[in-house]
Structure 1
Amino acid sequence: MERFKEKVAVVTGGGSGIGAAIATRLAAEGATVAIIELETERGQETVDAIKAADGSASVFACDVGSHDSVVSCFAKIESEFGPVNILVNNAGIAHVGNLSNTTEADLDRIYKVNVKGVYNCMYAAIGGMLKQKGGVILNLASIASKLGILDRFAYSMSKGAVFTMTLSVARDYVDKNIRCNCICPARVHTPFVDNFIAQNYPGEEEAVFQKLSEYQPLGRMGQPSEIASLVAYLCSDEAAFITGAAYDIDGGVTQLR
């Protein structure tokens, strides 16, 4: 399919895991993809894979938590590729802890990337979308936006903010042909999960992986490609009647646990 032919798509955190899968899927369907990473080395492997499959992609160094860095980066992207049609806010970081053991520094670190980073990128993209009279924004929230999850105080705060920012942007620009949605994944099997288990549960990797998998009623974690499939649909014209929505992609966690 070529649902994104002649479209420019920005994917934050597209160097690995879910972001890499999203960038690859959008490029495979014809998009020119701009991957934003803090360090370009992290995104170059994804770019190389896209180009090897005859797709179009480049990586841009940018700190999503810095307003000036993001505005400058989007200016470079528009100068090189043209107006941004699609923005996927995927970049995010995690934190384990409850209110008592979450420090102010922990909260600020999560806020800078997961909340301010999403704001910065939407802010930088919205002007161009208004000028071209249309665009699509897709934010990665989480089941933590809707559910109480043990020891995820700061992370849940940030993803709740992503959810409500999505609703606000969708409402404010619904008459401007700009759609804004978010998705709410449960656990997805990425290198981050494997590294987290290896670092925190040495010698127990298999048992912990199974326990984390069984948290989802379907009995497994999601795959990055499955997340990318939903993102591609919501960013396409096939989803033209969808805005202000939060799609669960969670193996049944939200409704069945």
Structure 2
Amino acid sequence: MGKLDGKVAFVTGAAMGNGAGIAHVFAELGAKVILVDISEKVHENAKKIVSNGLDATSYVVDVADFDAVKEVAKDTYEKYGKIVNMSSVTGTLVADEGETAYATTKAAIWGFTKALAREVAKHRITVNAICPGYIITPMAEQIANESDPNEPSNVIAGIASGVPLGRLGRVEEVGQLAGFLASNESSYITGTHIVIDSGSTLPETVSVGVK
């Protein structure tokens, strides 16, 4: 019996990366998954889930179109629920040059999560955010290819060497965390964020003037 048996999960950004990984894990945990993305690739992911004997439906929808999203999501409405937002360590904990726009959007998601958690608590709905660090996603692979077209694997290896656990995370690991936050096991957790980054953003103690 899966921790999400009997639940309906509405996953946006489900065509690739963390969204796709979350959709697959949710289905494995017993949920009926509705995959939504602006890309046609979302149908391929749904087919993969269904081919494993699991329950999934996919729609090509622009999440900026409120009416379209409302129509697709109507079957997921219920009195009690779980909302899991995807933020990032970028913008909430760290930031680098050239990431102003990205950091701003991810920080906004964190602020949105906290405010919404207070707003919907009376309806027994929990709202939390996940803040991933370095995860193997198409975006990470694209950055590696742009940085070193001849040896993109060297870029990934270089990033991994600076991560405490020595590797990048997998989308399935992000999915398992999302599955916990979407399950009844997290019923008393709301308005918070959980970092999944192998300890990359932990502060270091720096010795000054010590030889």
Name the TM-score, length of structure 2 as normaliser: 0.90
Shift of 1:256: 4.4
Q: Which residue does the alignment assign to 2:79?
A: 133
Q: Which residue does the alignment assign to 2:188?
A: 241
Verify the 8 A CA contact 2:43 2:59 in the aligned structure 1: no
Shift of 1:200: 3.3
The 1:213–1:8 alpha-carbon spacing in structure 2 relative to 1, beyond 3 Å, is same
Number of residue pairs the alignment of both structures matches: 203
Distance 1:221 1:173 in 2: 34
Verify the 8 A CA contact 1:188 1:224 in the aligned structure 2: yes
* Structure 1 stretch displaced more, 43-52 or 213-222: 213-222
Matched, 1:51 2:47: no
Distance 1:172 1:42 in 2: 34
Shift of 1:151: 2.4
Secondary structure of 1:253's partner?
Answer: coil
Q: Which residue does the alignment assign to 1:42?
A: 41
Secondary structure of 1:147's partner?
Answer: coil
Segments of 5+ residues of structure 1 without an aligned counterpart are 85-127
Verify the 8 A CA contact 1:167 1:244 in the aligned structure 2: yes
Distance 1:18 1:186 in 2: 11
Secondary structure of 2:201's partner?
Answer: helix
**Superposition map of 1:62-211 within 5 A:** 62-64=61-63, 66=64, 69-78=65-74, 82=75, 84=76, 128=77, 132-144=78-90, 145-211=92-158
User: Which residue identity does 1:63 align to in structure 2?
Assistant: D
Residue identity over aligned pairs, in percent, reads: 30
Shift of 1:251: 0.7
Distance 2:174 2:14 in 1: 13
Distance 2:2 2:156 in 1: 37
Matched, 1:227 2:141: no
Verify the 8 A CA contact 2:16 2:42 in the aligned structure 1: yes
Shift of 1:219: 1.8
Q: Which residue does the alignment assign to 2:2?
A: 2
Secondary structure of 2:35's partner?
Answer: strand
Q: Which has the higher contact order (CA 8 A, sep 6+)?
A: 2
Segments of 5+ residues of structure 2 without an aligned counterpart are 205-211
2:163 aligned to which of 216, 219, 224: 216
CA RMSD of aligned residues (A): 1.6
Secondary structure of 2:9's partner?
Answer: strand
Distance 2:45 2:166 in 1: 29
1:99-138 CA deviation, whole Å, 9 max, x = no partner?
xxxxxxxxxxxxxxxxxxxxxxxxxxxxx4xxx3211100
**Superposition map of 1:24-43 within 5 A:** 24-39=24-39, 41-43=40-42
Matched, 1:17 2:29: no
Shift of 1:218: 1.8
